[in-house]
Amino acid sequence: MDNNALIRRIIRSKETYMLLLPGVIWFVIFAYIPMYGLTLAFKTYKANLGIFGSPWVGFEKFEYVFRDPAFMESVWRTIWINLGRIVFTFPVPIILALLLNELRMRRFKRTVQTIFTFPHFLSWIIVASVLINFLDMQGMVNGIIRMFGGDPVNFLGNTTIFRPLLYITDNWKNAGWTMIIYLAAISGIDTEQYESAQLDGATRLQTMWYITLPGIMNTIVVMLILATGYIMTAGFDQIFNISNAATAKAGEILDIYIYRITFQSAADFSFSTAVSLFRSIVNFALLLLADRICKMLGSEGLFPPIRKAARARAKGAA
């Protein structure tokens, strides 16, 4: 009886399914089939047999992967570079948002905000081109150094400057945009809190520290968890365009390693897929771990807001 009712409802909704059909077909072909393609990590890829037909070999490829010293090096390099991002780029948009929020001059505020967000809309190729021109041996920064009688610095070809260069350029491009997220969170803070703080005679710095910052703590935590989830991935576009022959080794993060072994040398697609599957699993594990730790520290974590929203939506629908 119940089954019949369900079938009747499905038939009645057939037009809705027709709306979903084009999108669902796209997701199946271009998202779910490649996801299934990750099983290639446990197969030996044969071009004539394709993803589906290639024979299974178990964990053999993973043994080769872990035996490649360049692989383990790139794993550690990725972790260190991206932990550095959490220290040197993660707090910057928060600080910018706090500072900009205190700014009273409306027009100046809007101008600064516009300037800060602009580089976000350019590709890393354009941003790298602009900054390479600015920082290379003939660039303007070295021009200024020469003017004051200093020796020009090779900012771009130096492996010790490479990591700071990554953090600075990352901030240059993206900090202003991420700042908008925090500004949005700040605008959601209850104004009553500010009024009572003012009545209590709090200074503006005190209000910033005791009201604004705690007010956006949940947003900060969510962003931190997401950043942790990207520890094995972040930075391909940036490093691919900022690094050069002199810094190639210092910038070989996991994604660059995958690209190099797959598309620049004799490709073993199964081997590369094994690496990329390893990367996805570590990412997901880190995401869950960060979420768990944040919950232990008493924060809401990543999933409750999503779950809550889904529940509210389901309730609204019923």
Q: Least distance to another protein from the beta carbon of 112, Å?
A: 5
Cβ burial of 180 (10 Å; 0-12, 13-18, 19+) is: middle
In which region does residue 269 sit, left (phi positive, over 0), alpha (psi from -120 to 50) or beta (all else)? alpha
Residue 72 or residue 306: which is nearer to another protein going by CB?
306
Q: Least distance to another protein from the beta carbon of 291, Å?
A: 12
- Radius of gyration of the CA atoms of the chain, in A: 25
Q: Least distance to another protein from the beta carbon of 281, Å?
A: 10
Q: Least distance to another protein from the beta carbon of 203, Å?
A: 9
The length of the chain is: 318
Residue 18 or residue 297: which is nearer to another protein going by CB?
18
Q: Which residues contact 318 (CB under 8 A, 6 or more apart)?
A: none
Q: Least distance to another protein from the beta carbon of 146, Å?
A: 6
Q: For residue 83, give the H/E element and its range.
A: helix 69-88
Residue 59 or residue 303: which is nearer to another protein going by CB?
303
CA–CA separation, 160 and 157 (whole Å): 9
